[in-house]
Structure formats: C-alpha cells, structure tokens
Structure 1
C-alpha cells in the first residue's frame, strides 16, 4: 500500500535510506552519504504533503517524494517542457531487503498516475551517473536523459537529469 507519509514515518525512512546508502557504498556507488538524504529534508516533505511511503504488512519499506517545486540546481537545465506544471521525484528509496521485487516500479507507477491525475506536463528527476542500475531503471520507463548537474556535498561525479513528457 502506498500512502502519504507522516512525521511518525521519518525514523523508519531514515533507517531505509541509511540501509540504501550502505548497500550502494558496498557496491562502490557513492551516491548518498551522511548529509543526504537527511531527517530535515523528510520533515519538509511531510510538512508540504509531498512524502509518500510504501507499506508491506504494515511496515514501511520504501519512500518517494513528489513535489511541484523546482530546485534552483535545475534552473540551467534545458528541459523538454516549459518550467511550469512539472512533477519532481526525489529520494526514491526501497530498503535493500525488499529490492528486486518491483516496489520501485510500483512507486514510479504511482508517481506517473499522480502526475497524470493532477495534469502535470512531465515528471522530472535526477539520478547519480555512477549508478547504472538506476540509469537503466529510468531509461526503460521512457525517461529521457538530459544534462548533468552536480551536488558537491554528495559526489564529484555528476547526476543526470531525466524527464518523462506526459
């Protein structure tokens, strides 16, 4: 079940994202670290009503943030659609014990349905250039790879921006 996240979910989400970070680091993917993602970011997501969680047997196993706010780092990107009425996906995470079972796909299906229902013109996101599994995941779903952006506090490698026109 996918539902709106609450402040009561943040502890579980921090555990999920920490487990994901460890899993990625063990696979030589240095995408997330001690500064990102963080509790403060998820608190803002809850306050703005943008956080969604996936439960299996009443246990939170995954999360996704769906926002219509464009981060400043995205301003220079040549997007496929105008910079209005776009949905941004952030912090998609599935606990490593539950990966490979289609949960990320269900979260992205949820995001797409949400975007269509709310008349967004596209879905935008970024993902780490050194994470081939994520790159393939989004490209197989029809997202178009656009420009590189950098998050110096996370990595010296770029992140690729992606957009799916609806």
Structure 2
C-alpha cells in the first residue's frame, strides 16, 4: 500500500470512483454528491492536493486536501488545519480500513505542514458514518447548519453537516 499524489492520467479513474460513491449514496441517502467539475480535480492535481492509495498497481482510494475551508468551518477556519474532502474507495478494496490509513497519513501530513488539526465533514447526520469516522480516530464535533454555500458544490446547499477532527 502506497499513498501518492494523483496525476492527470488518474482523472478517468477518479471520476469512476466518484460515480461509484455517488451511486451508493443515491441508493442509501437523500443527499448525494453532485457531478464534480473536471477543472476542480485538475486544479487539485496541479496543486498536489489530490491523493490516492495504490495497492497492487491499482487505485484503491482517492481524496483531496485543502488548507482552508471557510464556508464549512466558518470561524474555526482560522485554526491551522488540513481539510480532507471527497474520499472515494474502489469497491475491490472495501474492508481494508482505507479511511483509517488516510487518518494516520493525514496526521503526519498535517504535522509536516505545521498544522494542528485534521478536519473533515459529511453532509447530514448519518450515525453509521459518524461511528465509522470515530473508529478511524476522528472526534465528532457535532452538527453545523451551513450559512454561506453559494460557491460550494450543490450537495451543500441549505445543508447541515457533521464535523470531525483529529487534534495533533
């Protein structure tokens, strides 16, 4: 298992994993991911903020990072944090605790970048997902009603989010 930055040739696979995740969300929940813009992923790749776990030369999981997330984290955005977004797993690798690996990696990544927190959010209140993220080492901070979502992806409009963090 190796964690690497995603590259442009990964874009097709990244969007395939997003579609799988979105289809799963549609089958289980009311809120699901919208279709993400290609330029969003291209920008993340060019800025070394799009990541992948590679197992046996296959992409097992992808996610993105940011060092600022003001519309979701509001005044807490002033804290020194790394934010994790859009974790999508390849179904071939489910059950391998990939989010746990991301959580462990993100602590070192945050430390290396002088950050004090690793943060993540999910739309809505999903008790199963909340418990899973707690098991992966995150603290559940509660629910937050978003106020300013005009430049966020569509699934955040008029949303309540579950907030998580790991404090280093």
Q: TM-score, normalised by structure 1?
A: 0.83
In structure 2, the residue matched to 1:120 is: 115
Gaps of 5+ in 2: none
In structure 2, the residue matched to 1:76 is: 74
d(CA) in 2 for partners of 1:42 and 1:138? 24
- Among 60, 80, 97, the residue aligned to 1:102: 97
Q: Structure 1 residues 144 and 28, CA, compared in 2 at 3 Å: closer, same or farther?
A: closer
Does structure 2 conserve the Cα–Cα contact (< 8 Å) formed by 1:129 and 1:159?
yes
Structure number with the bigger relative contact order (C-alpha 8 A, sep ≥ 6) is 1
Within 5 Å, which residues of 2 pair with 1:32-47?
Answer: 32-34=33-35, 37-47=36-46
Q: How far did residue 146 of structure 1 move?
A: 4.0
In structure 2, the residue matched to 1:64 is: 63
Q: How far did residue 48 of structure 1 move?
A: 1.2
In structure 2, the residue matched to 1:51 is: 50
d(CA) in 1 for partners of 2:30 and 2:54? 26
Deviates more, 1:101-110 or 1:5-14: 101-110
In structure 2, the residue matched to 1:142 is: 138
SS at match of 1:144: strand
SS at match of 1:159: strand
SS at match of 2:74: coil
In structure 2, the residue matched to 1:21 is: 22
Q: How far did residue 16 of structure 1 move?
A: 0.4
Deviates more, 1:129-138 or 1:112-121: 129-138
d(CA) in 1 for partners of 2:101 and 2:73? 29
- 1:134-162 CA-partner distances (Å, limit 9, x unpaired): 21122231323144144582165411222
Q: How many residues align?
A: 160
Does structure 1 conserve the Cα–Cα contact (< 8 Å) formed by 2:5 and 2:52?
yes
d(CA) in 2 for partners of 1:163 and 1:46? 24
